[in-house]
Amino acid sequence: MPEFLESSPSRVAVFGLGYVGSVTAACFARVGHKVIGVDSDERKVLSLNAGKAPFFEPGLEEIVANCVASGGLSATISQEEALAAADVAMVCVGTPSERNGNLGLDQLRRVCEGIAAASADRTVPLIVAIRSTVFPGTCDEVVIPIFRACTAITVVSNPEFLREGCAVDDFLFPSLLVVGGHDDDAVKRVAGLYASLGASACLVSLRTAEMIKYACNAFHAVKIAFANEIGALSEALGVDGQEVMSTLCQDVKLNASKAYLKPGFAFGGSCLPKDLRAIGYRANRLDVKVPLLDSALPSNREHLYRAISAVLDSGGKRIGIVGLTFKENTDDLRESPVIGMVEHLIGKGIDLRIYDPHVSLDVVYGSNRNFLLNAIPHIGRLLDPKLEYLLAWADQLVVTQKLDAGTAESIRRSGLPVIDVAGSGMARAGAGMAV
Ligand SMILES: NC(=O)c1ccc[n+]([C@@H]2O[C@H](COP(=O)([O-])OP(=O)(O)OC[C@H]3O[C@@H](n4cnc5c(N)ncnc54)[C@H](O)[C@@H]3O)[C@@H](O)[C@H]2O)c1
């Protein structure tokens, strides 16, 4: 839940004056904090102290010049000097790719070891905020252990979302503000540094904050790749891809929206698998490579296998499946991934029964009925007409759809363990594939 927090001027040391650190240092100074930047590259330090931005970024030079002139911003190569005057240390050093694709943490380790060495006898509290992009678990497994002996230091994650080319604007008008950590006061304190921007902060756990940054970048990359593949396919079909995508974005209910962006079960139904197959076939014939679009069905299958594995690993002897259609509030069974799951589990000799409020054999007809009977010929023996029968029989439930309040309450009261493949919030351990 985003929170608006109180702000008071703070003393901030920014470690690393690259693209992220320079903008962070300058903009924090611009909103009234006393900022000292640190970099091992003396040229950047000299440049900043001379009132010049170390590199080109629209609007940065002016802020640096004004803030250095007013005394709100300075730079040093000395970590000790910077820490002496700081209650928050923002770590903005690089985390470049290693040859194998892993994240390089050398700069991060070195700067944290430097802060730890300079803070061994420190009694004044210091919050170390990791602004560099680091993989989930890095703060817990790499950063916090470095500060084990530093009792005055608390670590939080405060990932950066700015884009080069409009970084100052992105900082001053943030699209997202995330702070995570184990210590609520430290998290609120760091979020408070941004309070004068009028943006609300999302306060989350430490690993969630780290993961959000990766989720955002992966999402942006997938969006770009999607638009480019649709553009390439459109062009090969003699269609204006710009018009297609700008029209697609007109739909802010299903397309440019939260819709379909919640971890849950595999997709299915009579449209998505069929239409993705058609795109793949036609693109191939047109010699247009669309690897992202081609990967959606295999990705979906992997997700189905994860659900099947969760059921097999549960150790349940009598599996009760709630929901047979591909989503709630429909009786359409065509290409329902639940049917694939049921087929697979039956093949493994699992004893199971199924309840779906919208499916009973005497009502289902046409292509729907054919699809069901082809996949599971003895489905009639597996369907329970009432949820209570299923709950009385099963020792393990699998929820595959969002549930109405009454069904959810009955399941909760049954006390049965739930594998919540739908991310419906029914599992004790949380959403998604939790068991
Ligand atoms: N560049 C972006 O658009 C962007 C956006 C969001 C997040 N990020 C992430 O932010 C982090 C920083 O990115 P960047 O592009 O600013 O990197 P950068 O390479 O431009 O800057 C890193 C700076 O850290 C300095 N440094 C390294 N070790 C140091 C040490 N021990 N003490 C002091 N200074 C030291 C380097 O001299 C350099 O100036 C990365 O994790 C990156 O993934 C970058």
Q: Could you read off the pLDDT of 250-292 as tens digits, one per residue?
A: 999 999 999 999 999 999 888 999 999 999 999 999 999 999 9
**Tens digit of each residue's pLDDT (9 = 90 or more) over 86-136:** 999 999 999 999 999 999 999 999 999 999 999 999 999 999 999 999 999
Rounded distance from Cα 111 to ligand 1 centre (Å): 11
Residues 145 and 119: beta-carbon distance below 8 Å = no
Instruction: Tell me: pLDDT of 389 over 50.
Output: yes
Map out the domains of the chain with their CATH numbers: 2-209 (3.40.50.720), 298-420 (3.40.50.720)
DSSP-based three-state secondary structure for 82: helix
SS3 letters across 376-405: CCCHHHHECCCHHHHHHHCCEEEECCCCCH
pLDDT of 320: 97
pLDDT of residue 7: 64
Task: Tell me, using a 6 A CB cutoff, whether residue 39 lines ligand 1.
Answer: yes
DSSP letter at 267?
P
Q: Is residue 407 within 6 Å of ligand 1 at its C-beta?
A: no
First to last CA, the chain: 25
Does residue 428 register a pLDDT over 60? no
pLDDT at 331: 81
**Best CA proximity match to 29, nearest among 58, 53, 56:** 53
Q: Out of 132-136, 145-149, 232-236, 369-373, which region has the weakest mean confidence (pLDDT)?
A: 369-373
Residue 95 in contact with ligand 1 by CB distance below 6 A: yes
For residue 58, pLDDT over 60 is answered with yes
Does any ligand 1 atom lie closer than 6 A to the CB of residue 47? no
Q: How far is the C-alpha of 74 from the C-alpha of 70, rounded, in Å?
A: 10
Q: Identify which has the larger pLDDT, 423 or 96.
A: 96
- Note the pLDDT tens digit of each residue in 25-53: 999 999 999 999 999 999 999 999 999 99
pLDDT value of position 431: 35
**Which atom of ligand 1 is the closest one to the Cα of 163?**
3
Q: Is the CB of 164 under 6 A from ligand 1?
A: yes
| SS3 of residue 151 by DSSP | coil
Mean pLDDT of 401-428: 88
Going by alpha carbons, the residue nearest to atom 1 of ligand 1 is 19
What does the pLDDT look like over 138-174, one tens digit per residue?
999 999 999 999 999 999 999 999 999 999 999 999 9
Which atom of ligand 1 lies nearest, measured to the CA of 132?
41
Nearest atom in ligand 1 to the alpha carbon of residue 134 is 41
Catalytic positions, written as ranges: 271
Give the pLDDT of residue 378. 81
- Range with the poorest average pLDDT among 62-76, 187-201, 324-338: 324-338
CA angle centred on 263, ends 258 and 269, rounded to 5°: 85
> For residues 140 and 119, is the Cβ–Cβ distance under 8 A?
no
- Decide whether any atom of ligand 1 lies within 6 Å of the 229 Cβ: no
- What is the Å distance from ligand 1's center to 420 Cα? 40
Establish whether residue 18 lines the binding site of ligand 1, counting it when its CB lies within 6 angstroms of any ligand atom: yes
Shortest-distance Cα residue to atom 28 of ligand 1: 107
358 alpha carbon to ligand 1 midpoint, in Å?
Answer: 55
Residue 2: the pLDDT is 58
Residue 271: CB partners within 8 Å, gap ≥ 6? none
Nearest alpha carbon, ligand 1 atom 17: 94
- Mean pLDDT, residues 420-428 taken together: 77
